[in-house]
Structure 1
Amino acid sequence: MAHYVYVIQSLKDDSYYIGRTSNLKKRLKFHNSVELNTGITRLRKPWGYFYTLEVETSSLADKIEKHIKKMKSRKYILNLKKYPEISRKLIEKYS
């Protein structure tokens, strides 16, 4: 089963949220749901995908998600999309 690290972007205020999931469609639907979402992302709806990375395991997705969050950098998030080699290096580093 594939797992994903994702970055969603608020269409309301241009902010980002980083997460991981095994079902991209279901997860985005959750973030945009009025009824289901009681978390931090409910305040900045609507959301759209900015970046996704498919990986083989949940463990790998968890490590990469933590790495991206630890960077605490908008520029780093923008570079993930701009430079695909960063994604390859992250997979190599944490595999």
Structure 2
Amino acid sequence: MQSSFVYILLCSDNTYYTGVTENVYKRFEEHQNGKHFDSYTYGRRPLDLVYYCHFMDITQAFTFEKKIKKWSRAKKQALIEDRFNDLPNLAKKNFTK
């Protein structure tokens, strides 16, 4: 099994970028230094590393990354702020308008 990290970056345009890597600090520096011209974060620097989580199995990391990418901004913020009790309610749709 390959150890890996799921991470979330806060971009300068106030959007979030979520990714998976084996070395979270090295990957953050690559994003921050603009290593990949065609990446989402290239034109949104400077960046802040606001969350990361370690996984012992890369398959689980990829599964969690895909899940986070579908989340609302509010739900991502709850994860970043360790408000785990809020996560289930933020997944529910509000049909009253």
Same fold by TM (over 0.5)? yes
> Which category of TM-score, normalised to the shorter sequence, fits these structures?
0.7 to 0.9
Structure 2 gaps, min length 5? 88-97
Is 1:30 aligned with 2:30?
A: yes
> Aligned pairs, how many?
83
Shift, 1:31, TM fit: 0.7
Normalized per residue, the structure richer in helix is: 1
Q: What residue number does 2:77 align with?
A: 78
Q: TM-score, normalised by structure 1?
A: 0.78
Shift, 1:84, TM fit: 4.5
Shift, 1:63, TM fit: 0.2
Structure exhibiting the larger radius of gyration computed from Cα positions: 2
Q: TM-score, normalised by structure 2?
A: 0.76
Structure 1 gaps, min length 5? 87-95
Alignment root-mean-square deviation, CA: 1.6
Moved >4 Å (runs of 4+): none
Q: Distance in 1 between matches of 2:55 and 2:40?
A: 25
> Which structure 2 residues correspond to residues 34-53 of structure 1 after superposition, within 5 A?
34=34, 36-38=35-37, 39-53=39-53
